[in-house]
């Protein structure tokens, strides 16, 4: 097989391994702290308008931060189901949620199967990772109540999320084929028009998309670099390192120059972080 060709199956296998590896630090350093983009968790759940007796699906629930917030809105007759590809992430979700009527299952969003219907479906920072988003949204629509509502959070554009682009741009400049062409990117739905089209094509109506800009303090450049390389760039780190120390040093130097425009007087880097939250009716 040519490894330079994007293969959705290989991509998904890599995705499972990557999320199993990074889930604990993702939870501890980002999601659970509700910092930067994770200020969206409360906004997303608020926009889903959860009622106490709702049956809610958290699609690609990860380590369960959205599920936990949902559970605070549910009463005795409510139900919460979280699905994800990563077993490690699911185990963190299970152990962090005390709501009794909650269930977590290992499931591919592209192959969801349920014999119940959901009142609400929430999905935070995962839509861009699904190779066939249209298929996911159409099948989600098929397992929703007639008056159901979906609420989705995605990252903004490359320019709107400089945390990603400040290091990724120099990586791509030096190693343009670091990922096979066509591999889904974090900012795939950063343009509200693309997000709208995808949701609309799946048959949802009354689509509303709101943009939020949160702030994320990444600490010093060294802290930002170390965090980025072990989380966001975890799946491509060995490929970068294989190009040798000189190239790694060049990437780091260029990233440091790019980061300087976000550096405050105290030496820490503060990035703006655009997030889109879309809601739509079934």
Ligand X SMILES: C[S@@+](CC[C@H](N)C(=O)[O-])C[C@H]1O[C@@H](n2cnc3c(N)ncnc32)[C@H](O)[C@@H]1O
Residues 144-183, one symbol each (x = binds ligand X by CB under 6 A, - = not), give ----------------------------------------
Residues 21-40, one symbol each (x = binds ligand X by CB under 6 A, - = not), give ----------x---------
Q: Which of 45, 50, 57, 66 binds ligand X (CB under 6 A)?
A: 66
Q: Which residues contact 1 (CB under 8 A, 6 or more apart)?
A: 7, 10
Least gap, CB of 118 to ligand X (angstroms): 16
Secondary structure (3-state) at 151? strand
Residues 78-117, one symbol each (x = binds ligand X by CB under 6 A, - = not), give ------xxx--x------------------xxx-------
Least gap, CB of 147 to ligand X (angstroms): 24
Using CB atoms within 10 A of its CB, is residue 78 exposed (0-12), middle (13-18) or buried (19+)?
Answer: buried
Instruction: Using CB under 6 A, count the residues that bind ligand X.
Output: 22
Least gap, CB of 200 to ligand X (angstroms): 22
CA dihedral angle for residue 97, residue 98, residue 99, residue 104, rounded to 10 degrees = 40
67: left (phi over 0), alpha (psi -120 to 50) or beta: alpha
Q: In the chain, what is the straight-line distance between the N-terminal and C-terminal CA atoms, in Å?
A: 41
Q: Which is nearer to ligand X, 74 or 89 (CB)?
A: 89
Q: Which of 104, 118, 130, 189 binds ligand X (CB under 6 A)?
A: 130
Distance from CA of residue 174 to its chain's centroid? 26
Does 62 sit near ligand X (CB under 6 A)? yes
Segment 2 to 21, residues that bind ligand X, using CB under 6 A = 12, 15, 19
Q: Which residues contact 150 (CB under 8 A, 6 or more apart)?
A: 48, 120, 121, 122, 123, 137, 140, 141, 144, 199, 204, 278, 279, 280, 282
Interface ranges with ligand X (CB under 6 A): 12, 15, 19, 31, 60-63, 65-66, 84-86, 89, 108-110, 124-126, 129-130
């Amino acid at each position: 097989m040519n490894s330079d060709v994007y293969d959705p199956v290989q991509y998904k296998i890599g995705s499972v391994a990557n999320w199993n590896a990074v889930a604990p630090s993702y939870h501890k350093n980002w999601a659970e702290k509700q910092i930067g983009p994770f200020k969206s968790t409360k906004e997303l759940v608020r926009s889903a308008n959860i009622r106490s007796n709702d049956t809610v699906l958290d699609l690609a629930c990860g380590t369960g931060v959205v599920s936990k917030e949902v559970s605070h809105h549910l009463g005795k007759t409510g139900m919460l189901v979280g699905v994800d590809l990563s077993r490690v992430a699911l185990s963190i979700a299970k152990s962090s949620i005390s709501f009794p009527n909650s269930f977590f299952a290992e499931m591919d969003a592209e192959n969801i199967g349920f014999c119940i219907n959901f009142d609400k479906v929430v999905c935070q920072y995962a839509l861009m990772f699904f190779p066939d988003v249209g298929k996911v949204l159409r099948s989600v629509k098929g397992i929703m109540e007639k008056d159901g509502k979906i609420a989705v959070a995605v990252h903004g554009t490359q320019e709107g999320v400089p945390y990603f682009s400040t290091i990724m741009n120099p990586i791509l400049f030096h190693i343009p084929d670091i990922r096979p062409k066509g591999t889904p990117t974090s900012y795939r739905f950063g343009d509200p028009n693309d997000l709208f089209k995808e949701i609309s094509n799946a048959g949802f109506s009354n689509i509303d998309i709101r943009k939020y800009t949160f702030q994320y303090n990444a600490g010093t450049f060294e802290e930002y670099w170390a965090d980025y390389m072990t989380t966001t760039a975890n799946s491509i780190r060995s490929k970068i390192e294989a190009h040798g120390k000189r190239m790694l040093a060049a990437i780091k130097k260029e990233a440091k120059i790019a980061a300087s425009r976000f550096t405050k007087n105290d030496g820490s880097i503060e990035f703006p972080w655009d997030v889109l939250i879309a809601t739509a009716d079934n």
